[in-house]
Amino acid sequence: MVAAGLMVTALARSAPPAGAAEDPAAAVRDSLAAPLRLPEGAARAAQTGWLRPDRLQHASLAWTLGVGAGATTRETSAAIAVPMVFGLAKELHDSRGPGFDAIDLIADLAGSLAAGWFIARRVP
């Protein structure tokens, strides 16, 4: 939100190109309509890196399942085991289609361990 405000301010203060309208709103509108261009290699890194959206989804779902299971059973082991079972089942299912991804299981493990740590410290 702050970045968008700074961009609008910078665009409004910049001099319009020769022959362009003096309307700052038009400049903002035109810049927002232009496609986002990432630096070379950044798009591929976002799709294959350790923090790609799919892996963050694995970790956050494992966290959610783990906290739910741990809070329900009041067991740290349940907070770790339940999301890992779901993660392993999902990867085994994926092995028939897009393929088994061990890194996704590592993301599941990270979320599960975080949930186990949370439950161990928060549930009496």
Q: Are residues 29 and 59 in the same domain?
A: no
| Residue 64: count of CB within 10 angstroms of its CB | 13
Same domain, residue pair 59 and 94? yes
DSSP 99: -
Number of domains in the chain: 2
Residue 31 predicted with pLDDT over 90: no
- Detail the DSSP E strand segments found in the chain: none
Q: Which two tokens stand for residue 112?
A: 């599960």
Query: What is the CA angle 35-47-65, rounded to 5?
Result: 120
Task: Look up the domain containing 113 and give its range.
Answer: 47-122
Sign (positive or negative) of CA dihedral 113, 117, 119, 124: positive
Instruction: In whole angstroms, give the CA distance from residue 84 to residue 65.
Output: 9
Task: Look at residue 42 and tell me if it is in a domain.
Answer: no
pLDDT digits (tens, 9 = 90+) for 36-52: 565 666 655 556 677 78
pLDDT in tens, 96-120: 888 888 999 999 999 999 999 999 9
Tokens matching residue 65 = 């399942």
pTM above 0.85, yes or no: no
Q: Report whether 66 contacts 82 (CB < 8 A).
A: yes
Contact (Cβ atoms closer than 8 angstroms) between residue 111 and residue 56: no
Model pLDDT for residues 63-96, shown as the tens digit of each residue: 999 999 999 999 999 999 999 999 999 999 988 8
| pLDDT bracket for residue 123 (50, 70, 90) | low
Angstrom distance (rounded) from CA 120 to CA 71: 10
Q: Are residues 23 and 52 in the same domain?
A: no
**Within-domain flag for 93:** yes
* Under 8 Å between Cβ of 99 and 63: no
Q: Are residues 56 and 27 in the same domain?
A: no
41 lies in a domain? no
